[in-house]
Structure 1
Amino acid sequence: MSTNTPFSILDLAILKKDHDASDAYSRSLDLARHAERWGYNRFWLAEHHNMPHVGSSSPTVLMGYIAQGTQRIRVGSGGIMLPNHSPLMVAEQIGTLATLYPGRIDLGLGRAPGTDQKTAAVLRRGRMETVQEFPQDLEELQQFFSADNLDAEVRAFPAEGLTVPIYLLGSSMDSAYLAASRGLPYVFASHFAPNYFQQASAYYQNNFQPSTNCPKPYLIACVNVIVADTDDEAQFLASSFYQMALGIIRRRSYPLSAPVEDMDQIWSMQEAAALKHMMQYSFIGSQATVKAGLENFVNRHKIDELMVTTNLYDHKKRLYSFELTAAAIQSFQADHLVNNHA
């Protein structure tokens, strides 16, 4: 394991029960400001549509909001779902952000719709085949950023010539193949799609083709983390996360609700089993418990960077969880450094 494994945040601007999107955005910015002080590397925002309790339907707008309100932390899309958009418009929007906030903007790209199929059809104006055009759209997008595009009939301003890091996101094998062949960093959504994580990450690492901007594989894994002073408190707080995540199984959008003592009053046995399988890459407990779990995860899978997502009802407890998470990661990094010099 690297002694300085970066750690970052994925945020969806989840709405709390009986609160609006404005509250969610304010909490996201407050988190980003604290995260900057605690040593987090990036703050990424995901694209979702037609979900009343997910506030990140427009990640590029939120990226500008977060970047303007912070000073150093990198801000990015985790991700922009490229089949929903014109590569030209993505280049223009990200190029604008990269011009406003030089050296701080990341472009994470995914091929999933980030919504249901009916909404995807509206987004894509009925052209559902755009998902099959993802490799070509990626190449077109990269060309718009290239300084070599100056003689093209269609150019993207102010993106042209800017160096904006591009990351491919995935939850199956498809993006692992593409990221490896194109020499791009790869981000796996292990926080909700564990089934292909080991296969995809191993394929990517073993078949990576070096590129100018990425000479060796760079694997980021996203995981759920909830830390509190004790294991019992963390498990109690996690019930808010479980209630929200039930929406994935029930195909509904649920807000963040207050924690409960007994989840068995809310979910069925089948739902509980399905959710725990889906969320198997979750690290919930005290700082010591989470430190041990994350250290083992990083070492076992040769993770280059951790991306953490934490959804708690109480904003102060959510901040505290992220603070303890940073301390846990920094602690096992320090242990590794000491062991290397022993």
Structure 2
Amino acid sequence: MEQMDLKESYPQGIVPTAEWGRLPNGAEIVRYDAPMFFSFTEHSLLSQYPNMRAECHWHIDFEFTYVIRGHMWYFVNGKTIRIDEGQAIFVNSRQLHYGFTKDGTDCEFSCVLLNPARMCASAEVYERFIASLAKDDAFPYAVFRSDGGHGGAVIEQIMRLHNVKFGRLDHTKRDDLPPMAGTMALSDDMESLTVLSCFYQMIRELTMAARDRGNNGMTVPSVRHSHVIALGMMCDFVRRQYTRQITLEQIAESGAVGRTACAAIFRELLNQTPIEFVNDVRVRSAANLLTATQLPIATIASRTGFSSTSYFTRTFRHIMHITPLRYRNNAACGSPMDSASQSVVTEYR
């Protein structure tokens, strides 16, 4: 199979996730689609993301990603894990993570976020099962296969949650872009009960998997490395301060490291320079403002920390492979891809 050309596969893509924000401590704020039980489900392609990678982030939610077609990699606390078609990954609460590609091939996936603190559990059940899982430092993530056991049960629940929002997968429509997650809610508010049912089934399977992990070949990851802790603090600082001018020295100080170590940590763990990460955060924020508001381009540039409109436009085009104005126009007409890019057939392998 051919590798995808990133500039062809994502020239006019619209970032598919809901418009998320940040808490003062840097944690991601998720705009849930089941407010009663705080869940969010996304159906996307990696090629819908800038440079086929999500932003490095963390949140209190449990995250479950199932690979429908193709493959992808996950970064979790400094470790890189490949997830193949038919597999799923669970990322525990408060773990630094993101999904991405290493080889330029696309991946279709379904991702579910479930807030462990808002699922109507009694205090006893919450402390005994949910909080203990969320606080398990030896269980930051787990990879599951669909061939029975805990993995099969977890994947079944992921797809139940996918189906109540998007409907059952139609594998005959191979070239369609997944629907925009941020514009959809659950098909019926009664399905909030399905969310609750799936959550508790997942907690049961994860609790059993955590208990069995030493006996079933599951890797028990080590405690977070100091570089991961420093990276988390520096990423949080950037997300709190990206609307202002930020220096390398300030980023390094936020992680309690020197400038040389700061640059080395970003390169080692994110394959970016600190300034590239700052621009990435700013551009993703600008993309949301372009689609969610009618603010002038110059105002968006200023609000997202860019020193000038021209520098914003150059940086946006470099990262997104499209100008800000064209990105806004494509979103307004509801067409994330233009006629030239529609001829591109997504390749999986």
Q: TM-score, normalised by structure 1?
A: 0.27
Q: Which has the higher contact order (CA 8 A, sep 6+)?
A: 2
